Amino acid sequence: MGTFRTLEEARAYFQNDRFAFSNGMTLDELTEEGCTCSVTLRPEHRNALGGVMGGVIFTLADFAFAVASNQDHSPTVALDVNIHFLSAAKGERLIAQARRVKSGRTTGVWEITVTDDLGRDVALFIGTGYKQQETH
């Protein structure tokens, strides 16, 4: 697989992530070290109390993890993830910034911070990915 040559190439590839795409997740920026993804909040992203559903926050962080980890030269799947919900989102948009912490031969670790558009820390997600060996 290798790295994506352009942001447009990565966006085209991740259009196949139908769950994230149908829930409004977007890929905004991509570098060798990570990415930024976001979602504009819609009424269906709200829970019964009116807050942002935890699953929306998790999905955004997981999408950023997928994008960032698959930019790292080989197809990667989640081995272990965890999320810490820090604060309720107050804005109209959530932003996930993924940063590579470690990249080994078969595994890697990424840290994803989720904030709202008001600058509030919403969640911290840590993902460990397994790099699948490509077969030719």
2 belongs to a structural domain: no
pLDDT tens-place values along the chain, 136 residues long = 457 888 888 898 888 889 999 999 999 999 888 999 999 999 999 999 999 999 999 999 999 999 999 886 678 889 999 999 999 999 999 999 999 999 888 899 999 999 999 999 999 999 999 998 765 4
136 belongs to a structural domain: no
State the total domains in the chain.
1
127 belongs to a structural domain: yes
Give the CATH number for residue 46: 3.10.129.10
1 belongs to a structural domain: no
Which domain, by its residues, includes 39? 7-131
Q: What would the pLDDT profile of 48-57 be if each residue is shown by its tens digit?
A: 999 999 999 9
Measured in residues, the chain has a length of 136
pTM: predicted TM-score of the whole model, two decimal places: 0.92
31 belongs to a structural domain: yes
36 belongs to a structural domain: yes
CB 40 within 8 A of CB 113: no
Composition of the chain by helix, strand, coil, percent to 5: 25, 40, 35
